[in-house]
A and B are shown apart, each in its own frame.
Chain A
Amino acid sequence: EAGVTQFPSHSVIEKGQTVTLRCDPISGHDNLYWYRRVMGKEIKFLLHFVKESKQDESGMPNNRFLAERTGGTYSTLKVQPAELEDSGVYFCASSQRQGSTNEKLFFGSGTQLSVL
C-alpha cells in the first residue's frame, strides 16, 4: 500500500514567487492535514480537510496561503506570494474516517521549502 506522498520533496524559490505543494493521501483516507515546521521549531497545525471540506483552518497563518482538496483526493497548498518566513518543512498527514480515539495519522516525508 502506498503511503502519503508529497511533491516536491524540496523547493527553492525567491521571495515574491508562488509555490504549490501537493499531497496525495493514502487511498480511502477522508481526513487530510497540513502541518509545517519552521526553523527547527515545533510542528504546527495548518488545517484539516474531511474529504473536500475544510473542517478546521485555524492554523493557516495568513491569506497568502490557500489550500484546496478538490474531489476529496489529493490536496494542494499554495503560497502566493512567498515570504522569507514561509521557509520550513511542510508535512501532510492522512487518516481514515474514524473516531478520534482510534484515528491513526500517516505522515508524508514533507516538502522542504526555502524562500530566498
Chain B
Amino acid sequence: AQSVTQPDIHITVSEGASLELRCNYSYGATPYLFWYVQSPGQGLQLLLKYFSGDTLVQGIKGFEAEFKRSQSSFNLRKPSVHWSDAAEYFCAVGAGDTGRRALTFGSGTRLQVQP
C-alpha cells in the first residue's frame, strides 16, 4: 500500500527566507506525485505535479519540487517566502500506473510566515 509522510507538522519562517517542506513516500512502482496548498477557507489548490521526465518540477507561485527516487522524496522548495504563502501544504501520491485515481495524502505541514 502506498503512503506519504510529511515529518514537519508546523514550520515557521521569516518573510524572504527560503523554504523547504519535506515529503517522503512509499510506493512500489513509479509514483505520480503532487503538492497541494490549502489557504484558510479555501479548497486545495494544485501547486505542481510529477509524472515522469525532469525530476525538478516547477509549479505555480514560485514553488518547485525535486523527485529523488533513491530517497523516496519529493520535497517542496521556494527561494523566498511571501506572507501570502502562509497556508497548509499537502504532499500526495497517486498510483497512476494502475489506473486507480485515488490520491494518498500526507498529514500536511502548516506554514507560518513571520514579518
- Which residues of chain A have a CB within 8 Å of any CB of chain B? 3-4, 31, 33, 35, 40-45, 48, 55-56, 58-59, 91, 93, 100-101, 103-110
Contacts of B41 in A (CB 8 A): 109
- Which residues of chain B have a CB within 8 Å of any CB of chain A? 4, 32, 36, 41-46, 51, 90, 92, 94, 96, 99-108
Contacts of A44 in B (CB 8 A): 105
Contacts of B36 in A (CB 8 A): 107
In the bound complex, what is the Cα–Cα distance between A64 and B108 (angstroms)? 27
**In the complex where A41-B107, A100-B32, A101-B51 touch, is A108 in contact with B99 (Cβ < 8 A)?**
no
Contacts of B104 in A (CB 8 A): 42, 45
- Nearest-CB distance from A70 to chain B (Å)? 21
- 24 examples of A-B residue contacts, CB within 8 angstroms: A4-B43, A31-B101, A40-B108, A41-B107, A42-B104, A42-B105, A42-B106, A42-B108, A43-B105, A45-B103, A45-B104, A55-B101, A91-B44, A100-B32, A100-B94, A101-B51, A101-B96, A105-B44, A105-B46, A106-B43, A107-B43, A107-B45, A109-B43, A110-B43
In the bound complex, what is the Cα–Cα distance between A42 and B109 (angstroms)? 10
Which of B42, B45, B90, B101 touches A100 (beta carbons < 8 Å)?
A: B101
